[in-house]
Amino acid sequence: MAPWRSLSAGRLTWLQFQWIVISFVVLLSLANHSSGYFYTENDQQASNDRFCFCQLQGTIDDCSCNVDTVDYYNNVKIFPRLKSLLVKDFFRYYKVHLNKECPFWVDDSKCAMRFCHVEHCEEKDIPPGLKGDASSYHKYIKEVQTLTNCNEDLDVELGYLNTSISDKAHKEFQRWADYDEAQDNFCILDDHEPGAEYVDLLLNPERYTGYRGESARRIWSSIYLENCFQAHSVKKKNAYSAMIPYQDMARNEVCLEHRVFYRMISGLHSSINIHLCANYLLSEKSSLGFVAPAGVWGPNMEEFERRFSPHMTDNEGSHWLRNLYFAYLVELRALAKAAPYLRNEEYFTGLEKDDREVKTAVKDLLTVIEGFPAHFNETAMFSGGTSAIKLKHEFREKFMNISKIMDCVGCDKCRLWGKLQVQGMGTALKILFSGKFDDKVETGLGTRLKQPAPSLRLKRGEIVALFNAFGRLSTSIHELEEFRQRMR
């Protein structure tokens, strides 16, 4: 007789109770297995999509290295060095014009949050070697900064010859020289213009400010839809979509130069989004409920998923993150290419001990960068004769236009970091494609090292933007690893 038959008699033995419990557990397990198998599989897949979309692997398109290699090299060797270098006075003070009018449209929208405001420097805080127009626009020279008698004639004969040249002619010569030099620029340099001021980057960190809405969307829409190269097959999407779908690039439907341009802009966009997610305004009040003057900041996982997860980005989010690595490698290559010139800079602020430390730290960083096993190969671009020259000009003009769009950003702090990072990326492009930083030249007798041009100089603002922009990309890759750890 089955154990449960005796239940009708109203008696329940210990053996019968055990059978009932075992039978119930087995039946429940079978029911869950039969009715929930596909649910469990889908749930597992959703979990994988949620927690693994930023776990990138494999090679980086258009480059010859792996994501894992970049992660290790950046997070272990480069990021710690940059972090300690960029807090030095030479790199923390950036001169910029934040009050220029938007040249493309009338937009009076401004960020209303108090965190959009930029704290400007007081005169007494600026290092002595950075004060004055000559040190901010033209190549700052230590000897010029420390010259005590400006009326002293150090070369009588040269002074005598120059007396026959009028001041007006001198200004015209300088204007021609500035024009010639500007032909190599990929972005607008406005630190010499009236209205430009020094900003302490450490007092104005890049983070979420609440700047959003139509004004913010218009910025990225203008960049992608009007200034990125567009393939004929590309469908128009919203400002947070990939304007060139990854599948098109994977099928080589977009030429290398167009891919590079788009991927650099996309990488910059991804980097900025990561900064906003990693430094998000969690609350304007402290844990005690009082208003916190500086706000409470920290990582926002939900915002990170919204901006990059597959189901929120039509499966493009992981490709946008890979573009971050691409932009990083391009700027890494620019620093490596300019390393012989950057080593010779004085990094002069007028503070001897600090200047010596910065110069030593820069040399150490450049040595590490030059030791990276696989740099981006810029020589594969613009190598097709007359059509390549035309394409290079169009490439430069489009990036120049993007630097102008930064003056249309309605949030002052967003405008500050947008201008700095675009200028840094533009300086990297200048190094890679102007030809003035090429260390080798082909002759009839073979290949020889090229002698540095006497006029080859980077202005201080370009150097500050170059290192800080690369620092932002480096920080993004480091913060991406932090997000992975939290997701795990």
Q: Is 164 annotated as a binding residue?
A: no
Catalytic residue at 187?
no
Is-contact 418 206, C-beta < 8 A?
Answer: no
Q: Is 266 annotated as a binding residue?
A: yes
Catalytic residue at 52?
no
Beta bridge partners of 448: 441
The full length of the chain comes to 488
CA distance 303 to 26: 43
Is-contact 268 234, C-beta < 8 A?
Answer: no
Exactly one of 63, 111, 228, 411 is catalytic; which is it?
411
CA distance 458 to 390: 25
Q: Is 343 annotated as a binding residue?
A: no
Is-contact 484 278, C-beta < 8 A?
Answer: no
For residue 65, how many other CB atoms are within 10 A of its CB? 17
Q: Is 207 annotated as a binding residue?
A: yes
Is-contact 204 413, C-beta < 8 A?
Answer: yes
For residue 390, how many other CB atoms are within 10 A of its CB? 12
Q: Is 209 annotated as a binding residue?
A: yes
Map residue 95 onto helix, strand or coil. strand
CA distance 270 to 321: 6
Q: Is 14 annotated as a binding residue?
A: no
Dig out the tokens for 371 from the structure. Answer: 């030791």
- Separation in Å, CA 315 to CA 42, 51, 320: 17, 14, 10
The binding site for FAD comprises 207, 209, 220, 266, 269, 307
The binding site comprises 207, 209, 220, 266, 269, 307
Active-site positions? Answer: 411, 414
